[in-house]
Structure 1
Amino acid sequence: MRDNVRKEIKSWGKSLLIALVIVFVIRSFLISPYIVKGASMEPTLHNNEKVIVNKWNFTGRFDRGEIVIIRGKEKNYVKRIIGLPGDKIVIKNDRLYINGVFCKEPYLSENRKLARQMGSRLTGDYGPITVPKNKYFVMGDNRLRSTDSRNGLGLIQKERIVGKGEIVFYPVSDFRSVQ
């Protein structure tokens, strides 16, 4: 009987160890949860929402408009990629130009309306700046309350990007795709 108990414990221990290794691999290399802190991405993402971050990047590059998590020295940041390597960025009269072409940003309409009601612009004039190789220009959607490439984070090295935000999973009532 003791041999049966030992075999059962050994079997359970082995299964538990395999499960822990799988969870570790998934969380370290594939996906992981992230808690949004602050208002810099409102109204797209809200303070204390929980987001699933996709760390798996088949292409090795990121696309304009993607919401990404950026590794900081003391904390992580969530921002939207605006400028890709080689892009020339100019913001003038609250309008974003990438490589001389006006870029519509429909995700800013709510914040832009609020800024106008307060008698200000959502985004101050900035640039021109050319994004170097292997770096990205990022901004928060709440431009009035965002530390980003314009004012503190600087241009983001590719290696600092943890992954891409995919799904808001908490609170459950707000379950949605991030993009």
Structure 2
Amino acid sequence: MAARKSDWIDWIKTIIITVIVIVLIRMFIAVPIVVEGPSMLPTLENNDRLIVDKISLIFQNPDRFDVVIFHATEKKDYIKRVIGLPGETIEYKNDQLFVDGELVEEPYLQEVKQNLDPNATFTTDFTLEDIPGGSMTVPDGHVFVLGDNRKNSTDSRHLGFIPLEQIVGIARFSYWPIMNLGTID
């Protein structure tokens, strides 16, 4: 028995609605991405697959230590960790992070730093005045970002401050490889 015309129309409607829902989810809620390069080691590795939360940026700006994806160029997105928020002073001195003059621990780097040669530094000393577009504080509407792999990362030390409107989303969940399944800290 041949399929009725109404059955075909129902199938076409279902496909169109499904495509629209998927497009809306990817545009406004969440999107999968693939990590490219070593700049976020040890937290994220090359080819890790993540789910990026886009919707929370509608309600609030990223927090310190959120891992964000942003438009670095028209064709390239980067993934880095938010270190400095608008109005803050950021300084690295003796391999330690100071925000507004106060020492701030970076627990996601503890293991790497413990494995370093005692005479080596993981993050070279700098102040915000040393970076492109340098100023005393992170400008309003911007954040200061660093890769977790401080020796091999193109980040705010090279790019300058990142405008909040260039941030695509916050990396929330790793789903591949399966051994890295879980939330991103």
State percent identity of aligned pairs. 39
Please say if 1:86 is aligned against 2:92.
Answer: no
What displacement does 1:107 show? 0.8
Kindly report which structure 2 residues correspond to 1:34-49, keeping only aligned pairs within 5 A, or say none. 34-49=33-48
Amino acid of the structure 2 residue aligned with 1:61: N
- Does structure 2 conserve the Cα–Cα contact (< 8 Å) formed by 1:111 and 1:142? no
Q: CA RMSD in A?
A: 1.5
Please say if 1:116 is aligned against 2:117.
Answer: yes
Equivalent residue of 2:117, what SS? helix
Deviations 1:38-69 (A, max 9, x none): 11111111110000000002423110010000
Match of 1:53 in 2: 52
Please say if 1:166 is aligned against 2:172.
Answer: yes
Please say if 1:177 is aligned against 2:178.
Answer: no
* Structure 1 residues without counterparts, runs of 5 or longer: none
Kindly report which structure 2 residues correspond to 1:137-152, keeping only aligned pairs within 5 A, or say none. 137-150=144-157, 152=158
The number of aligned residues is: 176
Q: Give the Cα–Cα distance (whole angstroms) in 1 for the partners of residues 51 and 78 of structure 2.
A: 14
Equivalent residue of 1:137, what SS? strand
Equivalent residue of 2:10, what SS? helix
Q: Give the Cα–Cα distance (whole angstroms) in 2 for the partners of residues 94 and 172 of structure 1.
A: 33
What displacement does 1:176 show? 1.1
Q: Give the Cα–Cα distance (whole angstroms) in 1 for the partners of residues 54 and 104 of structure 2.
A: 27
Match of 2:131 in 1: none
TM (norm. structure 1) is: 0.93
Q: Give the Cα–Cα distance (whole angstroms) in 1 for the partners of residues 126 and 116 of structure 2.
A: 17
Equivalent residue of 1:116, what SS? coil
